[in-house]
Chain A
């Protein structure tokens, strides 16, 4: 077995997704099967092979350091679930013990 229920819960906590018991069981068996398939990669000799993170040899693209306009605050806030006085509002950051 590649992955346990506890590991599924650990990964879900890292990914900030709450799962119910049924989802944990379903994901454990699906991820187990998918990760099992990934084992075919172990057979490939990759000694000394550089990883590719990008298909083209691009370097950082920099723009000139010039002042420029930005989007209207009112437009941006229209998509915010909750806002007050021009700021986005969120629930309390520290929980109730």
Chain B
């Protein structure tokens, strides 16, 4: 991304040519990374960027072709959430992140595939069909931002936006061998992100390198009055030269290396940690005694919030409306029966149950209390270390025909990514090695609130010393 920006400035490449080349590749994309391609819009953006590049300080994103997950609203461009219920929805406004990308001259190529309403870890439950992993097309790219992950890995865009409620940026980043950042809750505006679980959702960058992810993060972060959970503070630019790891305390939680972790993933992450040590980092053993409850807490809290957020899809103001209903109530029930897929229905049902009379205390209240204990674990840990490092996922990308049919087993794949969402912490996934099949392994770095500088800095320095992020499919 930075190299392209330099080439633009030296007139060795032009945004229009570059955009045409990306659109050409996307048209013959064998991985099904996109739900909607916006050729006309992208070329218009690219023309505008040509002008912008003639100005004094065009900015790093001028003319850079990017992709946006299809649960982020784009004015005049269909935004489906990969759901039948929104298959014809055309937003009347841009999400704040999209507005910021456009203001900085980025070219938006189109909208990337996801699991319906971002609920899943495989990018299979989409009206556009499944996305395939560019590393091995017989495998899932992970989810739910699997379209963005595949688009970046297959070089169908220079970078992309994803969203992460329980790992939906980091898991596809790990499975596709790219870099993905889930920012601190409140540091990137959620205005225009179709809500799944409002206390957990964050938009973040997915890119070939930590440096590119930092450029995208700097472009989208910052306070937004249109999001009441956006945090007003001074957001400085990220240091793109990396950081000196000398003396950096690296917390390694034993809970992240226990039962269920694939031995080859474990070995690759251990070797990644050794590299960080070789670079001057100091390993500190830490404990996060309550993270083992994360999956149970998450699938109560997230589904409870989803059951409330998805109540708006009732066939009245936008989206699908079922025909042939006898009255209004019947129309709601029929619309939702027809418009939502099985996983979305399952999660709405689970969340409605957890909030219903007689079960609220046992499920929702209990889960929210254990969430406090998980957040306290991290506060305690961060008094002893600067960053926490472990695996992003317990396994590497699995085959689409070996898809697990059991929802609970799929939920358990989120075990290492969920805690950061529950505690609102920033977390980065970077490639740290390969398994014996040559599939990429992701290493997860977590930091205290608003310390993305540590994560991206360490990620940039790690990638300056290693080549895992450069080894293509």
Contact = CB atoms under 8 A, between A and B. Distances in A.
B2 interface: no
Interface of B: 88-90, 92-93, 185-186, 199-200, 225, 228-231, 290, 292-293, 295-297, 299-300, 307, 311, 314-321, 325-334, 336-337, 340, 345-346, 348-350, 352-353, 356, 363, 365-373, 375, 406-408, 411, 422-425, 449
A57 B49 CA distance: 40
**Chain B contact residues: helix, strand, loop or mixed:** helix
A46 B356 CA distance: 21
B90 A27 contact: no
Contacts of A93: 327-328
Contacts of A90: 316, 328, 331
A23 to B, nearest CB: 7
A51 B92 contact: no
Nearest to A13: B333
B132 to A, nearest CB: 27
Interface string A1-42: 001000110111011111100010001001101110110111
Contacts of B348: 15, 17
Contact of B369 (A49, A56, A60, A63): A49
Given A50-B372, A90-B316, A95 B92 contact: no
A16 B231 contact: no
**Chain A contact residues: helix, strand, loop or mixed:** loop
A8 B345 CA distance: 12
| 10 cross-chain pairs, A with B, having the tightest CB-CB distances, nearest first | A55-B424, A51-B368, A81-B321, A95-B327, A79-B318, A46-B369, A61-B228, A18-B337, A18-B333, A15-B352
Contacts of B297: 41
A19 B299 contact: no
Contact of B337 (A17, A46, A72, A92): A17
B427 to A, nearest CB: 13
30 contacts: A8-B349, A11-B356, A14-B352, A15-B348, A16-B329, A19-B345, A27-B346, A30-B407, A33-B408, A35-B350, A38-B296, A38-B363, A46-B366, A53-B368, A55-B186, A55-B200, A55-B423, A55-B425, A58-B231, A61-B225, A61-B228, A61-B230, A71-B92, A78-B92, A79-B90, A79-B92, A82-B321, A90-B328, A92-B328, A95-B326
B227 to A, nearest CB: 8
A51 B361 CA distance: 11
Contacts of A3: 353
A79 B340 CA distance: 18
B86 to A, nearest CB: 10
Contacts, number: 176
A86 interface: no
A51 B371 contact: yes
Given A19-B337, A91-B328, A79 B369 contact: no
A75 B75 CA distance: 11
Interface in A56-84: 56, 58, 60-61, 63, 71-72, 75-76, 78-82
Contacts of B368: 51-53
B336 A17 contact: yes
A12 B350 CA distance: 10
A37 B22 CA distance: 45
Contact of A27 (B319, B349, B369, B372): B349
A16 B332 contact: yes
Nearest to A71: B92
Nearest to A16: B332
Interface of A: 3, 7-8, 10-12, 14-19, 23, 27, 30-31, 33-35, 37-38, 40-42, 44, 46, 49-56, 58, 60-61, 63, 71-72, 75-76, 78-82, 88, 90-96
Contact of A11 (B353, B365, B449): B353
A11 B352 contact: yes
Contact of A17 (B295, B340, B353, B375): B340
A96 to B, nearest CB: 6
A91 B325 CA distance: 8
A70 B228 CA distance: 18
Contacts of A92: 327-328
Contacts of A34: 299, 350, 407-408, 411
B346 A52 contact: no
Nearest to B186: A56
A12 B225 contact: no
Given A18-B333, A31-B350, A93-B327, A51 B449 contact: no
Nearest to A75: B92
